[in-house]
Amino acid sequence: EEGFWVSPSNHVLEGVVGTARVVEHSLYERDVESQYLNQNAIATVVRAPSGGWKLWGNRVPSSDPLNIFWARRRAHDVIIDSIEEAHEWAVDKPFSLQLLLDIAESVNAKLRVWKRLGATLGGRVWLDPELNTPLTLASGQLYIHYDAEGPAPLEHLVFVFNRNTGYYTELTEDAAREIARLASAA
């Protein structure tokens, strides 16, 4: 089973037997309808070359280029929600060094798990002294900063074929070496 950070694009849709209209699709050509739709943040259903019907598209409408992939947005939403929900226990506890360390280590532990699973590329937690002033803390407020980065899906895989006539030199050298070996064994 795949995690919340994995794009639903390019996955077979079970039970789908067809679509009202066929969308032209190619894995490696950009000038087809499915790619045009994807570039305009529209996911679509396509007939997969390997068979079956698949959801095709990773993008959501966004003017922020860091926020265009729905799998990453979903991953960030899950991370944010679960960090908040996992720390309900800390609300209304009295301030102490141990409380701050426990909260920070709890967040760091979650970030380490998500990195190990592949849900994030990394993450860290810290206290910002400009926000966590004595007056702020005395007012019962604490700001815990953390960062994380969900992985972008590999959206376009490009293979570049190159010719290398140098392999002919390698072939003749290998052949000459083998012929010489056979001649000396005779």
pLDDT digits (tens, 9 = 90+) for 68-77: 999 999 999 9
Q: In this prediction, what percent of the chain has a pLDDT beyond 70? A: 100
The Cα angle at residue 72 between residues 30 and 82, in degrees rounded to 5: 165
- 82 and 138 in a single domain? The answer is yes
> Residue 180 domain-assigned?
no
How far is it, in rounded angstroms, from Cα 55 to Cα 7? 10
What is the domain extent for residue 15?
Answer: 11-56
- What is the structure's pLDDT at 87? 98
pLDDT digits (tens, 9 = 90+) for 35-49: 899 889 899 999 988
- 72 and 110 in a single domain? The answer is yes
> Residue 23 domain-assigned?
yes
Band of residue 52 on the pLDDT scale cut at 50, 70, 90: confident
> Residue 179 domain-assigned?
no
- 30 and 49 in a single domain? The answer is yes
- What is the structure's pLDDT at 33? 94
What mean pLDDT do residues 120-141 have?
A: 98
Band of residue 89 on the pLDDT scale cut at 50, 70, 90: very high
- What is the structure's pLDDT at 51? 82
Q: Which of 145, 149, 141 is nearest to 122 (CA)?
A: 149
- What is the structure's pLDDT at 39? 86
- 24 and 78 in a single domain? The answer is no
pLDDT of 104 over the 80 cut:
yes
Structure tokens at 116: 């190990």
- 71 and 135 in a single domain? The answer is yes
- What is the structure's pLDDT at 48? 86
| Summary mean pLDDT of the chain | 94
What mean pLDDT do residues 139-153 have?
A: 97
Alpha-helix residue ranges (DSSP H) falling in the chain = 33-39, 70-86, 97-117, 134-138, 166-185
Concatenated DSSP letters for 100-149?
HHHHHHHHHHHHHHHHHHTS-S-EEEEE-TTTS-HHHHHTT---EEEEE-
- 84 and 119 in a single domain? The answer is yes
What mean pLDDT do residues 140-158 have?
A: 95
* Close Cβ partners of 40 (under 8 Å, ≥ 6 residues apart): none
pLDDT digits (tens, 9 = 90+) for 160-175: 999 999 999 999 999 9
